[in-house]
Amino acid sequence: MMGYKVAVVGATGNVGREMLNILAEREFPADEVVALASRRSTGAEVSYGDQVLKVKALDQYDFSEVDICLMSAGGAVSKEQSPKIAAQGAVVIDNSSTWRMDPDVPLIVPEVNADAVAGFRKKGIIANPNCSTAQLVVALKPLHDRARIKRVVVATYQSVSGAGKDAMDELFSQTKAVFTLGDIESKKFPKRIAFNLIPQIDVFMEDGFTKEEWKLVAETKKILDPKIKLVATCVRVPVFIGHSEAVNIEFDQPISVEEARSILRNAPGCVVIDKHEPGGYVTPHEAAGENATYISRIRTDPTVDNGLVLWIVSDNLRKGAALNAVQIAESLINRKLIQAKKKAA
């Protein structure tokens, strides 16, 4: 059977490299995978399974034979390029925030709303949510199916890889500078991140919330349920990979800790590790490189009627970005919503 031609745009970046790993790991039905990035990276080499791909420049690439374009090159590039790529007949699955709230673009987390992928035909673009949203809704959805969620209060602890490869370099070089008494330079973050944390991700909005906090609210409503009230505080922490979230949930009816644990144990994409002993929970270090959304520290919130408290951890480059994008592509194929162009010809 003829497979698909897949383009990975941003293939030299944190998310793009992980996309190539995941396509290979999951044996995605691709006949050909092309790696694209900016002109700066032309000729650079990236790994795809046991193959080495030479990176090509996006602005000179012809997409007329491409079936699926996994895009992770930032908002400005996506705004300009995604409609052009879609016009050449490739389905664009985009990781930036550019298209997420467009009513003609489905915003998908396959464990939650995979059927909505069918809406891709309007613009030829499907959006991947923000990394913190993806892992949050994977855990909220099965609970919401059992007892309607009225309100969520979330504090995030987000790793530096969520801000790209330069941000990871900044944590590394600042940490080294602390030990060698060198100069600490901050370029990617507004304050020092090494041995510190920063209660600001993305820009401030008029109401005092940051754009990252707004995204978590707006995207959860679009993917899961517009009736859910949510308030977030998003914090950058000196962790390389893995986002964590402390989440308080208020339901419209009682739900016990035991029942929540059993629902989450059986929910797609979720793994519960919740022992009441030192180390009986998951930290970002263990979640890095894994595909699951881990749920620990499940407790009753005694301060509200029908409340639970959870600790949720996942690899932001995987479930928060690359894995989710590849799962969206798989959803299109499983539902027979796309056909390989070569096969169709």
Ligand X SMILES: NC(=O)c1ccc[n+]([C@@H]2O[C@H](COP(=O)([O-])OP(=O)(O)OC[C@H]3O[C@@H](n4cnc5c(N)ncnc54)[C@H](OP(=O)(O)O)[C@@H]3O)[C@@H](O)[C@H]2O)c1
Active-site amino acid positions: 131, 243
- The Cα 70–Cα 20 span in angstroms is 10
Looking only at residues 197 through 256 of this chain, which bind ligand X when binding is defined by CB under 6 A? none
Pick between residue 3 and residue 74 the one whose CB is nearest to ligand X: 74
Among 4, 7, 21, 72, interactor with ligand X by CB under 6 A: 72
**Does the protein bind ligand X through residue 317 (CB under 6 A)?**
yes
- Smallest distance, Å, CB 197 to ligand X? 17
Kind and range of the H or E element at 142?
A: helix 131-146
Of the residues 63, 67, 68, 96, which one makes contact with ligand X according to CB under 6 A = 96
Does 162 sit near ligand X (CB under 6 A)? Answer: yes
Element (H, E) at 301: none
Q: Is 312 in the site for ligand X (CB under 6 A)?
A: no
Out of 210, 316, 327, 331, point to the residue binding ligand X (CB under 6 A): 316
SS3 231: strand
Q: Are the CB atoms for 255 and 308 separated by under 8 Å? A: yes
Strand order in the sheet with 270-272: 229-236, 149-158, 243-251, 307-314, 293-300, 270-272
Taking the complex as a whole, how short is the minimal distance between the CB of residue 38 and ligand X, in angstroms? Answer: 3
Q: Which stretch binds ligand X (CB under 6 A): 67-75, 136-144, 221-229, 334-342?
A: 67-75
Q: Does 37 bind ligand X (CB under 6 A)?
A: yes
Q: In the beta sheet, which residues pair with residue 94?
A: 71, 127
Choose which of 4, 5, 12, 21 interacts with ligand X (CB under 6 A).
12
CA distance 261 to 328: 27
DSSP 3-state of 269: coil
Q: Does 119 bind ligand X (CB under 6 A)?
A: no
Tokens of 263: 């629902």
Q: At what angle do helices 323-334 and 14-25 cross, to 10 degrees?
A: 50
- When the beta carbons of 17 and 144 are compared against ligand X, the nearer one is 17
Nearest to ligand X of 128, 296 (CB atom)? 128
Q: Does 284 bind ligand X (CB under 6 A)?
A: no
Instruction: Compare residues 55 and 143 and give the one whose CB is closer to ligand X.
Output: 55
Contact stretch for ligand X (CB under 6 A) within 71-79, 197-205, 269-277, 288-296:
71-79
Cα 46 from Cα 21, distance rounded (Å): 10
Binding residues for ligand X, total number by CB under 6 A: 29
The stretch among 14-22, 225-233, 283-291, 328-336 that binds ligand X (CB under 6 A) is: 14-22
- DSSP secondary structure letters along 211-247: HHHHHHHHHHHHHT-TT-EEEEEEEE-S-SS-EEEEE
- φ, ψ for residue 206 (rounded to 5)? -60, -35
Cβ neighbours for 314, distance < 8 A, ≥ 6 positions apart: 134, 135, 138, 242, 243, 287, 290, 292, 293, 294, 320
- In angstroms, what is the minimal distance from the CB of 214 to ligand X? 15
Residues making contact with ligand X (CB under 6 A): 10-16, 37-38, 40-41, 58, 72-75, 77, 95-96, 130-131, 161-162, 164-165, 316-317, 320-321
